[in-house]
Amino acid sequence: MKIYITFLSLFLFHQSILCANFEVKMLNQGSSGVMVFEPSVLKIGLGDSVTFKATDAAHNSASISGMIPLNAKAWNGELSRDITVTFDTPGIYGYQCTPHSMMAMVGIIQVDDNQSNLNEVESAAKIFKSKFVMNQNRFDDYLKMLSTQ
């Protein structure tokens, strides 16, 4: 039993060393326009984390229903607060700043080079972007970037 616990502890410690933490800024103005996450498209490994930094006030990060892999954990950060999300399910995740979603303040994260839920994300994005009052093609542009990164 002692060997099992030691092995498990070493395995978990080793896994935590291999996992990375990425930072995404929530901005009023970024290099690609107004009301953006920077970077807006991110590819990460399974088990990696993303810290959404409240660089500018009155933003949050929240997953979008229908735009995360099946069985993945949804998140909904508080306004003007950093939130760190660990991604343990491979696939594509769409997320938003809730108060600025109509301004297309959205982003995409791909975990583990997995695009198994791409069709579902694209379908949900078509519906979701109908409420955008600006940057109508932002989701489409971000999804296209997944194949070029």
Q: For residue 12, what pLDDT is reported? A: 47
20-148 sits in which CATH class? mainly beta
Beta-bridge partners for 29:
34
Which residue type sits at 4? Y
Residue 14, pLDDT score: 46
Residue 107 clears pLDDT 50, i.e. is over it: yes
Give residue for tokens 């306004």: 79
Global confidence as pTM: 0.88
- What is the per-residue pLDDT for 149? 59
Helix spans in 2-137 (H): 2-18, 118-128
List b or e across 97-121, with b for residues whose CB sees 16 or more CB atoms inside 10 angstroms: beebbebbbbbbbbbbeeeebeebb
Band the pLDDT of 147: cuts 50, 70, 90.
confident
Mean pLDDT score of the chain: 91
How confident is the model over 25-69, as pLDDT tens digits? 999 999 999 999 999 999 999 999 999 999 999 999 999 999 999
Across residues 105-119, what is the average pLDDT? 97
